[in-house]
Structure 1
Amino acid sequence: MYLLPISVKTIPEADILNVMIPRQFQILCQRSKTTNHLLQLHSLILKTALNYDHYFISQFMLSACSVSIEFARSIFDSSPVTPPLFVWSTIIREYSKSSMPIESVKLFSKLQRIGHKPDKYTYPFVIKACGRCSLVQVGGAVHSLILKTGFDWDRYVDNTLLRMYGAFHAIDSARQVFDEMTDRDVVSWSSMIAGYVACNCPLDALMAFQEMKLENEKPNSVTLVSLLSACTHLLNIRIGKSIHSYVLVNNIGLDVVLGTALLEIYAKCGHIAEAFYIFNSMREKNLQSWTVMISGLADHGHVGEAISLFTKMEQTGLKPDSVSFSAILSACSHLGLVDEGQKYFEKMFRIYNIMPTMEHYGCMVDMFGRSGMIEEAYQIIRNMPMKPNPVILRSFMSACNNHGVVHDLDENMRKLLLEIEPDLGANYVLVANVSSLSGYWNDADELRVAMKDKGLKKVPGCSWVGGSKKDMIKEAVR
């Protein structure tokens, strides 16, 4: 392993001459794998005045990008010569993948101010940064610039625009970009389908898949993951099984992402045996895989197995996250396992330093409420660091109503539910029933009158799927 001298005064003259050979310098840059190496190489560059040469300083900055974007940026900003466009594009790319994507947008703006014209290698990364930062207006402005400069013909640029508009939930804009593309590939179709799923349009996602088949474009594993997500939204196990068959027939590798997506559709639809089979057949599992399986077991009454699997997950060394604890707390709530639920709730923040969210508090309120422990549920709500949401309030009041427990309910809490959701008839009925149970007869009568005056009704749950779209979905997997 080489190591440049830390003190530039100790560098032999012959070494300096060797470094000034472009090929030797390039090899030296490629071998610089640590910040310490880069600092020493930078000292050598300054001593030999190579920082005034476009080639040498550009090669050095490219090497620095692969080690430390912050160090590369400091060299970039202090360079006595304006770096060429490919260096700008490289640093914009690295920032777009980093924890500071906004810097990509800032650099892009500076690039335009100094007169450099972006090319097809620059635009995709600034588009990606706009999507990550939710900069809707900036993203639209960059898109306009792409149209003006004629780079809308580039498939890679268009594919990135599709993903950006999907991140913005601007599905109509994404569809317009997609329809105007003259050259589509599987990435284009996958991005469009993923955009529909992200915008909660699972039916449109499956219709797009039907169009994809008509264009004789074969889906890849990324496409199938989005399709399975659409099926999970619709709880359509028939299409989910068809996709699973496609995976098996075409020998598509079951990686952790695709395996988890298959696992989720089976688990959400109550096919626990099939879900467990996929779970056990996955060579690699991540935290999401374990959480989906635990949640599926809990949601369909297999609470003991869910708790056992949670313990096994901890034993593998994986640290549960907020979602994992929501799943196990929900399992304890469904079976009324109060002691276990309290144990997991305390473990969450005492051992794993995870602060409870609204969902965790909701699980605890529901768990105490189902067990008739109304006072404990009430204290959870009173001690929450945030205002309860309608789900928690309804859960608590329903528990009071179901158990016939008269509780000195805080009047502000009853009013809060109606303030948050003033147009939901079921809320008025529930608050009126609890008020009657607590002896507030006048309040209950006033609520029923107010409900009648507003024309509100308690509407039962219903489900409907449009016929034309439903027929198209049937054709999608034939």
Structure 2
Amino acid sequence: MYNAMIAGCAHHGHEAKAFQLFEDMTECGFEPDEITFMALLSACRHRGLVLEAERYFKSMIEVYNISPEVGHYTCMIDLYGKANRLDKAIELMEGIDGVEDDGVVLGAFLNACNWNKNAELVKEVEEKLLVIEGCNGSRYIQLANAYASSGRWDDMRRIRNCMRGKELGKFSGCSWAYINNQAHMFTSSDISHFNTEAIYPMLHFVTKDLSEIAEITI
């Protein structure tokens, strides 16, 4: 129940309440889990609270012996990227085992490179990302956008031409959501949304909590 409340506060921008609920949770003797820390890191990410996120991330590992999962890493990388701390994102990436085989983590790092307009690193990520996700059209879109934001038009055209050659630009259907007068499009297996690294971890721990509640109800 604490996880659901912390996640709800984090999602709606009430990070102070989320942090207080965590304190209440531990004081009452409840052990936090990986979902708890995903919610806390998401709260920090929404507000750009780098120091607080680093404290929770360290506590998760050193105090509660919880190994970070993909969602925790992507949340931290996303936070560092938006805080213009690409150096910290690189440092974190260097400590992740098997990072070159994880498209989600590489995708998060690609976004961080994009926000910091580091086209050289975008090129490095491209070489690794397309090896493991060369058939994912969303990754080509993400790469093309990253090159475009850095003014690398030749690279942008190269990526788009490659995508057309592989016929990767077609999706069967999509849904739309309007938030603050801005349209957001979602399609099956699509991870091109700029906030995707926070959306899917949030869905993961919300659905897990709902499943647990359903089992208790039954």
Give the structure-2-normalised TM-score. Answer: 0.69
Structure-2 separation of matches of 1:318 and 1:305:
17
Alpha carbons 2:122, 2:143 under 8 Å: kept: no
Q: Give runs of aligned pairs for residues 21-420 of structure 1, distance below 5 A.
A: 289-387=1-99, 389-403=102-116, 405-406=117-118, 408-409=120-121, 411-420=123-132
- Rounded to whole Å, the distance in 2 between the matches of 1:399 and 1:410 is 9
Deviation at 1:453, TM superposition (A): 1.5
Question: What's the CA shift string for 1:168-221, capped at 9, x where partnerless?
Answer: xxxxxxxxxxxxxxxxxxxxxxxxxxxxxxxxxxxxxxxxxxxxxxxxxxxxxx
| Matched position secondary structure for 2:99 | coil
- Secondary structure of the 1:408 match is helix
Q: Give the greater-gyration-radius structure (CA).
A: 1
Shift of 1:432: 2.7
| Deviations 1:14-71, CA, capped at 9 Å, x for gaps | xxxxxxxxxxxxxxxxxxxxxxxxxxxxxxxxxxxxxxxxxxxxxxxxxxxxxxxxxx
Residue of structure 2 equivalent to 1:424: 136
Distance of aligned partners of 1:395 and 1:361 in 2 relative to their CA distance in 1, 3 Å threshold: same
Aligned match of 2:214: none
Query: Pick from 163, 175, 179: which aligns with 1:462?
Result: 175
Aligned partners of 1:427 and 1:401: how far apart in 2?
Answer: 13
2: CA distance between counterparts of 1:421 and 1:462? 23
Would the alpha carbon gap of residues 380 and 439 (structure 1) be closer, same or farther in structure 2, given more than 3 Å must change? farther
Query: How many residues of Structure 1 are paired with residues of Structure 2 in the alignment?
Result: 175
- Unmatched 5+ stretches in structure 2: 177-185, 187-218
Q: Aligned letter for 2:6?
A: I
How big is the shift at 1:352?
A: 1.4
The 8 Å contact of residues 144 and 160 in structure 2, kept in 1 or not, is answered as: yes
CA contact (8 A) 1:408 1:438 kept: no
Contact 2:110 2:122 in 1 (8 A): no
Distance 1:296 1:309, change over 3 A: same
Say if 1:406 and 1:437, in contact at 8 Å, map to a contact too: no
Conserved in 1, the CA contact under 8 Å of 2:6 and 2:21? yes
C-alpha contact 1:426 1:458 (8 A) present in aligned 2: no
Deviation at 1:305, TM superposition (A): 0.9
Cα pair 1:390 1:421 within 8 Å, conserved: yes
How large is the Cα RMSD of the aligned pairs?
A: 2.7
- TM-score, normalization: structure 1? 0.34
CA distance in 1 between counterparts of 2:122 and 2:145 reads 15
Change beyond 3 A, Cα 1:462–1:420: farther
**Separation of aligned partners in 1, 2:137 and 2:114:** 17
Deviation at 1:407, TM superposition (A): 5.2
The alignment partner of 1:462 has SS state of strand
CA distance in 2, matches of 1:401, 1:359: 19
User: Could you tell me whether the CA contact under 8 Å between 1:429 and 1:458 is conserved in 2?
Assistant: no
**Percent of pairs with identical residues:** 36
1:421: how far off? 2.6
User: Residue 322 and residue 398 in structure 1: after superposition, are their counterparts in 2 closer, same or farther (change >3 A)?
Assistant: same
8 Å contact 2:38–2:72 — kept in the other structure? yes
Deviations 1:418-437 (A, max 9, x none): 23332332311221333455
Q: Comparing both structures, which one devotes a greater share of its residues to strand? A: 2
**Displacement of 1:344 after TM fit?**
0.5
Secondary structure at 1:301's aligned position in 2?
coil
Q: Tell me how far apart the structure 2 counterparts of residues 344 and 448 of structure 1 sit (CA, whole Å).
A: 40
Matches of 2:144 and 2:6 in 1, distance apart?
Answer: 37
Do 2:118 and 2:150's aligned partners in 1 also have CA atoms closer than 8 Å?
A: yes
| AA at the equivalent of 1:360 | H
**Cα deviation 1:64-88 (Å, max 9, x = unaligned):** xxxxxxxxxxxxxxxxxxxxxxxxx
Task: State which of 136, 159, 166 in structure 2 corresponds to 1:447.
Answer: 159
**What letter corresponds to residue 129 of structure 2 in structure 1?**
L
What runs of 5+ residues in structure 1 fail to find an aligned partner? 1-288, 465-478
Task: State the structure with bigger RCO (CA 8 A, min sep 6), 1 or 2.
Answer: 2
